Copies of this chain bind each other. A is one copy, B any other.
Amino acid sequence: MVDNPFLVKMRTHGDLDGQEVDFVRSLCQRRETVHAGTELAPQGSNPEVVWIMLSGLACRHKSLEEGERQIVAFLVPGDLCDLQVAMLGRMDHTIEAMVESSVATITVLEVREILNCRPALTRALLMANLIDLATVREWVVNNGRRAALARVAHLLWELYLRHAAVGLVTDHMYRLPITQRDLADATSLSNVHVSRTLTRLREEGVLQWSARTVEIKKPERLREIAGFDPDYLHGAGQRTEPHGLRDA
């Protein structure tokens, strides 16, 4: 099993001392397993806790009339959701687990304690928040201005980097246990066109996606097709070529 992905992420956003590392570990004690389809935070609800993804995959999505929906973010292990909403708002979208996932819950009180007494950790949380914001902005650009091929490539490359950043890439492969329809809902394409687009990427030997696992075969080419500029990840994707980050 890899190390706690949330801890890994917090460490990349700032140097935590031993005490703070212990504190982060203790935060992730209260765990819960949710199965695929569970709505952690339905639209309209008032969450009283903040979730930390420890394993699995979740997404934020908004649905419009007629069953159409748009996914506006993926939550991978290490991500945490809705610091602000838990403190002062109502969900304007839904957070849903896409596969069986393990999450830790921390209370608003614990969050306040962090903000008051843990400057290094606070800084790391702010950084994570900044990256989340930048990522949504990049999605506007991606879904708005790039053609289907680049768009799908961009998303799969982003997810590759984000998984790599928390040690979840092995031999250029990461798990992506979602359907093409989910990918379509994230890229604002139709499921049919996502299928065609993936076929093209596969035929060009850029990547494989089977058994719920994405394998990047030509990283450089994929990045090029995607027109990817990693700035928006603010360093979280710097280990673009993870070397032997195996489970251990």
Interface residues of A (CB under 8 A from B): 43-44, 60, 62, 64-65, 68, 70, 72-73, 84-85, 87-90, 92-93, 123, 126-127, 129-130, 132-134, 136-141, 143-146, 188, 227, 231-232, 234
Asked if A89 and B136 make an inter-chain contact with CB atoms under 8 angstroms apart, the answer reads no
Ordered by A's residue number, 22 sampled pairs between the chains whose C-beta atoms are within 8 Å are A43-B231, A64-B145, A64-B146, A70-B144, A72-B141, A73-B137, A84-B129, A84-B130, A84-B133, A85-B130, A88-B127, A89-B234, A90-B231, A92-B134, A92-B137, A92-B138, A92-B232, A92-B234, A93-B137, A133-B136, A140-B140, A143-B188
Asked if B126 and A84 make an inter-chain contact with CB atoms under 8 angstroms apart, the answer reads yes
Asked if A140 and B72 make an inter-chain contact with CB atoms under 8 angstroms apart, the answer reads yes
Instruction: Name which residue of chain B comes closest to A129, CB basis.
Output: B84
A70: which of B72, B130, B141 is its contact (CB, 8 Å)?
B141
Copies of this chain per assembly: 2
Asked if B126 and A87 make an inter-chain contact with CB atoms under 8 angstroms apart, the answer reads yes
A145 in contact with B70 given A85-B130, A126-B84, A136-B133 (CB within 8 Å): yes
Asked if A137 and B188 make an inter-chain contact with CB atoms under 8 angstroms apart, the answer reads no
Instruction: Name which residue of chain B comes closest to A68, CB basis.
Output: B145
- Give the shortest distance, in Å, between A178 (CB) and chain B (any CB): 17
- Please measure, in the bound complex, the distance between the C-alpha atom of A129 and the C-alpha atom of B131, giving whole angstroms: 13
Other than A72-B141, A144-B188, give 19 A-B pairs with Cβ distance below 8 A.
A43-B231, A60-B137, A62-B138, A62-B141, A64-B146, A65-B227, A70-B140, A84-B126, A84-B127, A84-B133, A88-B126, A88-B127, A89-B234, A93-B137, A133-B136, A136-B136, A140-B140, A140-B143, A144-B144
- Please measure, in the bound complex, the distance between the C-alpha atom of A72 and the C-alpha atom of B136, giving whole angstroms: 9
- Give the shortest distance, in Å, between A87 (CB) and chain B (any CB): 7
A89 in contact with B145 given A70-B140, A140-B136 (CB within 8 Å): no
Write out the residue numbers on chain B whose beta carbons fall within 8 Å of the beta carbon of A146: 64
Write out the residue numbers on chain B whose beta carbons fall within 8 Å of the beta carbon of A137: 60, 62, 72-73, 92-93, 136
Instruction: Name which residue of chain B comes closest to A134, CB basis.
Output: B92
- Give the shortest distance, in Å, between A228 (CB) and chain B (any CB): 11
